[in-house]
Structure 1
């Protein structure tokens, strides 16, 4: 009798296994995080997205984050394309040879000090002008982070154009380094992760481009005496979050849409908000640390704006080559940032 019942049960199971919609296909994603494991992208942003993905797909899509990055920061896109990991975040400035639209939010003097506003404007601009730019992966979110500022490592602040020209400063590679060189400062350009060794060892006497999170993460606050602000932030950086195409194809269309629907809010906006929060917390300690705030002389700000023009001109030319209207895209982004900023 038991054998008879077992046979019936097996027959029923096999029958239903062949019926469309009865089998639950599960997909597990490996989500890379190139920041240090204690950084909020690794501890809050990506885990929060994973939790939400599991919720909206009712457990059909799950994910985990390796304990350490499987690839260096410049190789995040390549690592996803090759299938070394299934999803990752890429700093867009490191893939400027691959994408152009993603750099819209990184054009000088285009942003504000409201990262969520810049992030919303960047995503709207992406959807409107270049939604298919990331054609080798599935793009799920983008964000723009708190702008960096100009800092002096000596007791003399950088307020005038001559102050700027007299300095040897660390700057982020790319537009910021080019702007500083154009004005006449001596420049040492390295990735942000190497800023501490340059600043702490006295190779430079000032630095340009770190925001509050960067000051804290790269431990350069002890070597910072003052900060100089301009009326509009000189420059900010942006990131993209994407999934491997083949792995994405394993997910049902319904679950794909559910994941798309939550990703920009749960990754882009969350990341932007956390960057602003950390930066504000760090800036709140400036008085206690003796870091004095100054406003740039109008002549210095005008020189920075002028020195930035070649960067945007070159970017617009690349946009035309890429097949979209860079002038219109940038105008749209700037207008939306102004509208959305607090």
Structure 2
């Protein structure tokens, strides 16, 4: 799956989105969705299109979702697009705005889990129990959350299996959490979108890059990054949201809100996580068939990664009162216990 990058939000695109929303809504309750995934991507065809079809089905077509032909802004702007009602529904990654959504850091840390489905269900339960009423989420109603189920480091030259292997390696990353992770491991972070990975490797700017397995196939990086280090529980993860503007949600009838609620929340989060699991499994099978090198960390590297996680969490717990979460440790214990319970039940 590949995601292009879009031009910055402009008055013209905002006006276009608002006009389109008001025009199509005259005939029916049509919810406009801004998506930065190409219409041909599997995320669109297998998950977002399915979600839209399910909304129409459970409401007997009284409520429909129209995915706009082009995104109304860049990926980091999508939460605001929903909060402000520029688009009714959006999806994205909250840690594109890391300081604003510091409450979500815990689920993107190393060794958070290898199952996207179990992680997504556990994250939904955690969000629903502890986080949904926090002021940072005012203005939206969350429809689903998801996790990749662990992502990896991939290298152009060798498998990175010891702490020394990471030293001074130039590795592409996508957000400040990943930057801090790489710095703590002795690597040199290079900030760039995933779409630039091939170009940066080809020009010698980077040695490796952070991606989930599915993106190695999706971005055509199988030849450029032939070495993958698989950390148990993932070297990192990425948290995604699907949200609707609160005012728009409130405007839907009680009957239709109830129907949509039955297919969203934990149910849709599970479906989204299972989608990522399927994408990663398919990509891994293809890479194995191509002779791709998969390696596991030596004990010293595993210990270092575990310490990075522990240090991250200790600081996050200490900072919890500052971002409105004095019970931050309780939140993580809840998430981890739910993940373990769900994973065990699935075996």
TM > 0.5 between the two? yes
CA positional deviation for 1:61: 0.9
2:150–2:233 contact (8 Å) kept in structure 1: no
Q: How much does 1:225 deviate?
A: 2.1
1:202, CA displacement in angstroms? 2.3
Pick the aligned partner of 1:137 from 112, 135, 140. Answer: 140
Contact 1:81/1:244 (8 A) holds in 2: yes
Match of residue 37 from structure 1: 39
Shift of 1:58: 1.8
The equivalences for 1:178-217 within 5 A come to: 178-207=180-209, 209-217=210-218
> Does 2:53 align with 1:61?
no
**C-alpha deviations, 1:220-260, integer Å up to 9, x for none?**
11112221222332211111111112222221122112212
Give the structure 2 partner of residue 149 of structure 1: 152
Deviation at 1:150, TM superposition (A): 2.0
Q: Relative to structure 1, is the Cα distance of residues 31 and 296 closer, same or farther in structure 2, using a 3 angstrom cutoff?
A: same
Cα offset for 1:200? 3.4
> Structure 1 34/26 Cα, relative in aligned 2: closer, same or farther at 3 Å?
same
Q: CA deviation at 1:265?
A: 5.2
* TM-score (ref. length: structure 2): 0.84
Does residue 125 of the first structure (1) align with residue 95 of the second (2)?
no
**Number of aligned residues:** 315
From the superposition, tell whether residues 161 and 29 of structure 1 become closer, same or farther in structure 2 (CA, over 3 Å): same
Question: Residues of 2 paired with 1:223 and 1:211: CA distance?
Answer: 15
> How large is the RMSD of aligned CA atoms in angstroms?
2.0
User: Which moves more between the two structures, 67-76 or 279-288?
Assistant: 279-288
Report the counterpart of residue 165 of structure 2 in structure 1. 163
Alignment gaps of 5+ in structure 2: 1-26
> What is the TM-score when the length of structure 1 is the normalising length?
0.85
Task: Indicate conservation of the 8 Å contact 2:30/2:64, yes or no.
Answer: yes
- C-alpha displacement of 1:152: 2.1
Evaluate the alpha carbon distance shift between residue 260 and residue 104 of structure 1 in structure 2; reply closer, same or farther with a 3 A threshold.
Answer: farther
Relative to 1, partners in 2 of residues 1:318 and 1:34: Cα closer, same or farther, differing over 3 Å?
farther
SS at match of 2:242: strand
Report the Cα distance in structure 2 between the residues aligned to 1:223 and 1:149, rounded to whole angstroms.
15
Say if 1:312 and 1:195 are closer, same or farther in 2 by CA, change over 3 A.
Answer: farther
Structure 1 runs (4+) greater than 6 angstroms displaced: none
State the SS of the aligned residue for 1:243. strand
Change (3 A) 1:261 1:335: same
Q: Report the equivalent of 1:107.
A: 109
| SS in structure 1 at match of 2:61 | coil
Say if 2:238 is the partner of 1:237.
yes
For residues 74 and 31 of structure 2, what CA distance do their matches in structure 1 show? 19
Asked if the contact 1:104–1:122 (Cα under 8 Å) also holds between the matched residues in 2, the reply is no
Bigger Rg over Cα: 1
Partner of 1:321: 322
User: Is residue 82–residue 245 contact of structure 2 (8 Å, CA) maintained in 1?
Assistant: yes
Cα 1:334–1:266 change in 2 (3 A) is closer
Q: Secondary structure at the match of 2:264?
A: helix
